[in-house]
Amino acid sequence: MSMGDLKKIVVIGGVAGGATAASKARRCCADAEIEIYDQDEFISYAGCGLPYFIGGHSPNWRRLLARMPDEFANRQNIRVFLRHRVNSIDAANKLVRVVDLEGVSEFSIEYDRLIIATGAVPLVPPLPGKELDGVFVLRSLKHALEMKSFIDLQAPHRVAIVGGGAIGMEMCEALRRLGMEVHLVELADHVLPPMDADLALRLGEHLEKRGVVLHLGEKVEGMEGKRDGRVARLITSRGSLEADMVLLSIGIRPASELARQAGIALGARDAIRVDESMRTSAPDVLACGDCATTFHMVAGSESWVPMGSTARKQGRVAGETASGNQASFPGVLGTFILKAFEMTAGKTGLGVSEAVEVGFPAESVTLEDSTFPAYYQAGPRMTARVTVEKGSGRILGAQVLGDFAAQVDKRLDILAACTAARLTASDLSSLDLAYAPPYSHPLDLPIVAGNLAEARVLGKECTCTVEGLED
């Protein structure tokens, strides 16, 4: 199909990947019709901001909306259909069947290019009591508004958060901020399972210091309610826990049923399989964002790593490809970060056990130190653990943990850039980072971690610290 034939681009879903894809497509093809269909009432909002809205840090939810539907129409000539669910895709005839959820009419739409950006949906196992009033998931703005309304009207006293991942952590902070008693129930023996246990343990201790009650190694079996239909307790493998609100944040899965039913191939974790240009197995059908697979640049394999930032990047590429341009997305490192109270935890690339699993002879070095020269600002501290390939010294990933004020995110991003660039420990140790006392030690933590890793890889003894000169 040549560009000249491109009359209509249809986008299913308009939160992050879809909104970006539509905007990018508009930029590339001034004349094509572009339409977004979304079953929800809201599109183009900051999903990652929901815990901050609920906790009252960002009390006005309207500020989470990046763009209103009429702005899409007026400024970009993109038509947005809210509360319109796409029920099926006929890839052979290039049609989608759409239901207007308000009017309950169903109609067909032709497309020249289709972009599937249906996102992900919360995992909700078939637990007894999951339909009780006061049991929530938190994925969409609608979920957040429902939860906020429940909190405002019912004033729950004690919440059980099920799942100690990023959302679980952020919601611990949000709900403690609202004065609630917070219990965190996690199946694994430490919070934040993607982190190494010893690091995650320290995050867990911080949560406890801030009043969160941890229930680790505990499996949720269901919820029990009161007569009025409101949740009263959580039943776990270890007993029961009184709770007048429950948040199930045990994970998400890609919203790929629509694609699967259309015969489009799925990949890792049943996400829609896409190539580096966001093409699916069906001609002229693209996918991007949390519903789509990606490529893990260190593991070297197809992967499913749903992230708002990745959705934007994939959305740009999907918009380009849909417009007939060449574009590609090389993949991800699985980088994540979260703030929990006054602590930051994050990771990029692979930990040692993950690296070994995919075939790297890997080891790690761990460095704990202050962020700033003591004479300038004592206090903020952090820990970095860098995964390196034995022999080559290639940086395979890093985990960082520390005080929020320690600017752990900066060190993580430096290490993410180095991991993406396939730098070695030796490269890291000689990196020319910006030094002045208000920003770091003369040799910032990633550099010293590079020294340590270099010594480890070369089998040298090394006991350097950032604070001392003994390096």
The interface region with a copy of itself, picked from 117-125, 143-151, 359-367, 411-419 by CB under 8 A, is: 411-419
Interface segment toward a copy of itself; rule CB under 8 A; list 5-13, 14-22, 112-120, 149-157: 14-22
Tell how strand 245-248 and strand 135-136 pair up: parallel
Closer residue to a copy of itself in complex, CB, 359/438: 438
Q: What are phi and psi of 394, to 5 degrees?
A: -60, 135
Contact call for residue 436 and a copy of itself (CB under 8 A): yes
Q: Which of residues 50-109 bind a copy of itself (CB under 8 A)?
A: 52-53, 57-58, 60, 63-64, 66-67, 76
Which of these ranges, 142-150, 242-250, 367-375, 380-388, lies near a copy of itself under the rule CB under 8 A?
A: 367-375
384 in Cβ contact with 374 (< 8 Å): no
Interface size with a copy of itself, residues (CB under 8 A): 85
The label of the residue with tokens 């995050």 reads 203
CA 202, 203, 206, 211 torsion-angle sign: negative
- Judged by CB under 8 A, which of 123, 308, 363, 403 binds a copy of itself? 308
345 strand-pairing partners: 338, 401
Q: Which of 417, 270, 336, 319 is nearest to 17 (CA)?
A: 319
Query: Rounded distance, CA 165 to CA 393, Å?
Result: 30
Closer CB to a copy of itself, 301 or 309, in the complex: 309
Q: Is 222 helix (H, G, I), strand (E, B) or coil?
A: strand
Report if residue 404 touches a copy of itself, rule: CB under 8 A.
yes
Q: Is 20 in the site for a copy of itself (CB under 8 A)?
A: yes
Residues 162-221 that bind a copy of itself (CB under 8 A): 166, 170
- Residue 391 neighbours by CB under 8 Å, 6+ apart: 361, 457
Q: Closest separation between CB of residue 431 and a copy of itself, Å?
A: 6
- Using CB under 8 A as the binding rule, whether residue 409 contacts a copy of itself is answered as yes
Min dist. Cβ of residue 243 to a copy of itself (A): 26
Which of 414, 445, 449, 452 is close enough to bind a copy of itself by CB under 8 A? 414
Which residues in 319-358 contact a copy of itself (CB under 8 A)? 329-339, 344, 346, 348
DSSP class of residue 139? S
Shortest CB 71 distance to a copy of itself, Å: 10
State the residue for tokens 């259309």.
262
Phi-psi region of 284 (alpha: psi -120 to 50; beta: other; left: phi over 0): left
The number of residues in the chain equals 471
Taking CB under 8 A as the rule, does residue 271 contact a copy of itself? no
In the complex, the smallest distance separating the C-beta of residue 223 from a copy of itself, rounded to whole angstroms, is: 29
Q: How far is the CB of 309 from a copy of itself (least distance, A)?
A: 4
Q: Using CA atoms, how far apart are residues 288 and 308, in angstroms rounded to an integer? A: 11
- Residue 39 CB, shortest distance to a copy of itself, in Å, is 20
Residue 62 burial (10 A CB sphere; 0-12, 13-18, 19+): exposed
- 288 labelled catalytic: no
Residues annotated as catalytic are 48
